[in-house]
Structure 1
Amino acid sequence: MTPAAIDAFSAVPPHLVIRDAFGADMAARLLAFALAQAELFSETQVGNQKGRVAKQIRSSRVIGTLGALEGDLETKFRALLPRATAALHLAPFTLDSLSMELAAHGDGDFYRRHIDTFVRGEMTGTDRVLTAVYYFHATPKPFTGGELRLHSLRPLDQGGSYIDIEPVHDSLLLFPAWAPHEVRPVSCPGGSFAQSRFAINCWYNSRAH
């Protein structure tokens, strides 16, 4: 393996952070929606296997419907694709669909290191190419922690690296779906749902080959 290849495996994957991404109005609408739907959130699952909850890997709550906001959000995410493709040096791909969910991380919640592409046995008719995470929360921020840690392909104990990205209100993070990442533990002493770290997880899907 060449030195350049070693460096590539040890480097943090390409990523793009956009501040003031969707605007204060959209962030406020999303927060109001999340709070109104609080009782409909369920425990998050792991992988693409329905009903598999693994609290030692992923602890949070999620809702898969975004109601009347879904169309506006999809328009905003789609509009970002050319910018993200250029900034992350992604190979051009034909967008088949978007998949979105609204996740809430409360006190003690986390998600261990993982990737967003599916492995054998979990495959669907599409491939996840690009991950986008839009952050919003009550202000002032009622929690600490919850950074998204983006890992290199090479593990830390073998010369790898990582970067922690803060879940800033009305900010958007984009990175390739193959990039290893995790959600660091959230601390929210108040413990109420309204104090959660909220995020829209969006995946840009291409047709599977």
Structure 2
Amino acid sequence: MDCQDLAQDLLLELEQAQSLTQLLDWALACLPSQQIFCQIGWEESAAVLQAMLRYPEKLAVILRNPLQSSSEKSISTEDIQTQISQLGLEERVLLLEGPIPALLADLGQCFPETQIGVCFWTELTDYRTCLLQSLLLRDYLADSALYLVNHCRYGAIAQANLDLMGIDPSFHLQKVLPNLGQGIHLLTWDPQRKGLSERDLAYIQATAPGLLLSTSPLFLTFAQPDPPEPARFYPCRYVKLDNFLPAEVNQAILEHAIAHQDKFIPSRSYSQNNTEAESLKFRRSLRLDYAYFQEYGSLLREKIAAVAPDIFVKLGIEDFDIQIFEMEMVASHDGCYFTMHADNSYPQTAFRQVSCVYYFHREPKPYRGGELRIYDTQRQKPHPPILYGTYDEVIPTNNSIVFFSSSCLHEILPVFSPSQAFADSRFTINTWLGAKQFT
């Protein structure tokens, strides 16, 4: 199957595509047996590994340059290798770390007959890297190949792909997928076609990123608003489950939180000016990083995963393959609050689909307030969410958990704790479920 057949098959399927996982699954399904799948970057590695289980005859290589990671919390090489071993994929998935040009050269030298039929970039961070390393990749692509680039909501990356087509018209932009990953460009590589077609030019015109904002020797920054989406309505619907964990586990989590008081730090917002003073305009609380409560976080994660399908039905959310359980523990002491916001309004949080709040505190409840108020919300990206109707309110109760759409505007009303003691806080473990691998 050549690249045009592959692209056309994918384009037909993509009319119904709901996730990046589906895209990668279809790409592997169409990959010729003599060619390999190459992923560059750790992001979305879980989706690729799961897809590899469904296609036992396929081979994949995952390359990563740690200096070019787009995430400060990138999963370690050891963790990825452990996942590969646990899934029994050691014979079919090769993991390499180092400078990408050197890794590709080593790959070509050690396996000279190997050709890349599908390449998926996941961690490109700047215009120069995207453009130059895309050109470098040409020597390793099969005569017909599929080329996928993530993070194309960022103007510099989108611009690099358009310039790539101008430099080497063997690259052809087949489809722009703004709502998959962080915005996907699907290109084909066909060295027999050396000129830009009218379709190519039309795509370039339609996807031109916009105005150049700033430059430096390494980076170009462009204005690139997200493509407009139809307006969607999210009702203030929630599901609350009482006595969610065994009583002894609930008590152990509380004791653990109190014992780690010195590890809690002030919560921050995702605003551009992310200082403590700026954050206090929106929220006040203390947070504990997941690293300090992994054991209890894992227990909660297993229980959430078990009830998730039923929760999705009750919330009216289409079932999705959960690839992320982002967690934090929060202590809301006397005077804490969180003003109205949606949990997926920033690029860093756009993958969040369902929000979960697990409540735990001393008995009898040592505080009042802290209600979770969820609003009917209308969303039309890239515009901010707006109130659209009424609201509902959740009263915190010990050992209960609440699920709601991450797209709904919500707020935490002020907490009043007469003792002002940390141990008398409104404690929660906040979890966000998404279809994007969190690194």
Interval containing the TM-score (normalised by the shorter chain): 0.7 to 0.9
Give the letter aligned to residue 63 of structure 1. L
Does residue 115 (structure 1) correspond to residue 332 (structure 2)? The answer is: no
Give CA-to-partner distance per residue, 1:44-88, whole Å, 9 cap, x none: 011276954311211000001213222212111211211111111
Amino acid at match of 2:281: Q
CA contact (8 A) 1:143 1:187 kept: yes
Contact 1:105-1:198 within 8 A present in 2 as well: yes
Closer, same or farther in 2 for the Cα pair 1:159/1:47, shift >3 Å? closer
Q: What secondary structure is seen at the aligned counterpart in 1 of 2:324?
A: strand
CA distance in 1 between counterparts of 2:300 and 2:319 reads 22
Task: Give TM-score, length-normalised by structure 1.
Answer: 0.86
Letter in 2 for 1:150: I
1:172 pairs with 2:401: yes
- 8 Å CA contact 1:47–1:118 kept in 2: the answer is no
Which of 149, 155, 158 in structure 1 is aligned with 2:373? Answer: 149
CA distances 1:145-177 after superposition (whole Å, capped 9, x unpaired):
0000011116xxx87211111010011100011
**Do residues 76 (structure 1) and 278 (structure 2) align?**
no
Is the Cα contact below 8 Å between 1:64 and 1:101 reproduced in 2?
yes
Q: What do residues 171-197 of structure 1 show as CA deviations (whole Å, max 9, x unaligned)? A: 110001101100000000100000000
In structure 2, relative to structure 1, the CA distance for the partners of 1:49 and 1:202 (3 Å cut) is: farther
Name the residue aligned to 1:90.
317
* Local SS of the residue matching 1:107: coil
| CA distance in 2: counterparts of 1:159 and 1:63, whole angstroms | 33
CA distance in 1, matches of 2:330, 2:343: 15
Larger radius of gyration: 2
Residue matched to 2:424? 195
Structure having greater relative contact order (Cα 8 Å, sep ≥ 6): 1
CA contact (8 A) 1:12 1:163 kept: no
Over the residues paired in the alignment, what is the CA RMSD in angstroms?
A: 2.4
Q: Shift in Å at residue 89 of structure 1?
A: 1.2
In the alignment, residue 371 of structure 2 is paired with which amino acid?
E
Look up the match of 2:161: none
Secondary structure at 1:118 match in 2: coil
1:132 is matched with which residue?
Answer: 356
What stretches of structure 2 of length at least 5 have no aligned partner?
Answer: 1-231, 379-386
Give the SS at the match of 1:84: helix
Residues 357 and 429 in structure 2, CA contact (< 8 A), matched pair in contact too: yes
Q: How big is each residue's C-alpha offset from its partner over 1:12-48, in whole Å with a ceiling of 9 and x where there is no partner?
A: 4221011111131221011011001001100001127
Unpaired runs of 5+ in structure 1? 1-7
Mapping of 1:48-87 within 5 angstroms?
Answer: 52-53=275-276, 54-65=279-290, 66-87=293-314
The whole-number CA distance in structure 1 between the counterparts of 2:427 and 2:363 is 12
TM-score by length of 2: 0.42
Counterparts in 2 of 1:113 and 1:159: CA distance versus 1, 3 Å: closer
Identity %: 28
Check conservation: 1:48, 1:118, Cα contact below 8 A: no
What is the aligned length? 196
